[in-house]
């Protein structure tokens, strides 16, 4: 690029940029100037309204006796300020390699986790970022309502492997990200 073309490009850029720059007042009985105000927020998400999930012993007994799996869940609030209100979930369990497991100190049983929204329910894979979800929340706390649910499933085989009167516990971490 030649020197004269560089100067022309610079002059064009300067005149375009100055359209949004502050203007200064001139001396006189009054003087006024202008400033441009800019504001930008980064993509933000929030997850709230989380509660511990406990499988009811009567429901587990019924599932065991009928050969069915048992599902328990929690309604939650997820908010995103993305223009399309999108977000992603990465779920990790506290088992080996982030596995979804419950443990009684001796024995370990697996569980599965899924994420439900008005668009349907999707199985979560431990430690892997989900497909994109869209929230219906208009504010970080969902106005006291819910926008999604986490569902936990114990298979009939896992229930059968549990020892009676023993509490099995595990921690599920739900990482919400805007991108």
Does residue 75 lie within any of the structural domains?
yes
Does residue 78 lie within any of the structural domains?
yes
Does residue 81 lie within any of the structural domains?
yes
Helix (H) or strand (E) holding 62: helix 57-66
Positive or negative, the CA dihedral 14, 16, 17, 22 is positive
Expressed in percent and rounded to 5, the helix, strand and coil fractions of the chain are: 20, 35, 45
Of the pLDDT bands very low, low, confident and very high (cuts 50, 70, 90), residue 145 is: confident
Specify the CATH number for the domain of residue 90.
2.60.40
Does residue 38 lie within any of the structural domains?
no
In angstroms, the CA 119 to CA 115 distance is 10
Of the chain, the percentage scoring pLDDT greater than 90 comes to: 82
Range of the domain at 69: 45-177
Number of domains the chain contains: 1
In angstroms, the CA 68 to CA 153 distance is 11
Of the pLDDT bands very low, low, confident and very high (cuts 50, 70, 90), residue 19 is: low
Strand 133-134 and strand 148-154: the pairing is: unpaired
Does residue 15 lie within any of the structural domains?
no
Q: For residue range 89-120, what is the model confidence (pLDDT) as tens digits?
A: 999 999 999 999 999 999 999 999 999 998 89
- The average pLDDT across 147-168 equals 96
Does residue 86 lie within any of the structural domains?
yes
Q: For residue range 40-69, what is the model confidence (pLDDT) as tens digits?
A: 999 999 999 999 999 999 999 999 999 999
Does residue 4 lie within any of the structural domains?
no
Does residue 39 lie within any of the structural domains?
no
Sequence-distant (6+) residues with CB within 8 A of 51 are 74
Q: How many helices (H) and strands (E) does the chain have?
A: 3, 10
At 79 the pLDDT is 96
Is residue 1 over pLDDT 70? no
Is residue 16 over pLDDT 60? no
């Amino acid at each position: 690029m030649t020197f004269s073309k560089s100067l022309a490009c610079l002059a064009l850029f300067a005149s375009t940029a100055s359209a949004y720059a502050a203007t200064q007042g001139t001396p006189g009985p009054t003087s006024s100037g202008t400033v441009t105000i800019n504001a930008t927020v980064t993509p933000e998400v929030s997850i709230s309204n989380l509660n511990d999930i406990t499988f009811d012993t009567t429901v587990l007994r019924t599932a065991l006796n009928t050969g069915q799996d048992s599902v328990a869940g929690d309604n939650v609030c997820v908010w995103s300020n993305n223009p399309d209100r999108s977000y992603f979930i990465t779920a990790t369990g506290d088992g080996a390699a982030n596995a979804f497991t419950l443990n009684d100190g001796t024995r370990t049983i697996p569980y599965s986790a899924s994420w439900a929204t008005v668009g349907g329910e999707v199985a979560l894979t431990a430690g892997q970022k989900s497909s994109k979800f869209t929230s219906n929340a208009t504010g970080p706390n969902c106005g006291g309502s819910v926008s999604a649910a986490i569902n936990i499933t114990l298979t009939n085989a896992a229930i059968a492997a549990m020892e009676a009167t023993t509490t099995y516990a595990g921690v599920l971490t739900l990482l919400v990200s805007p991108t």
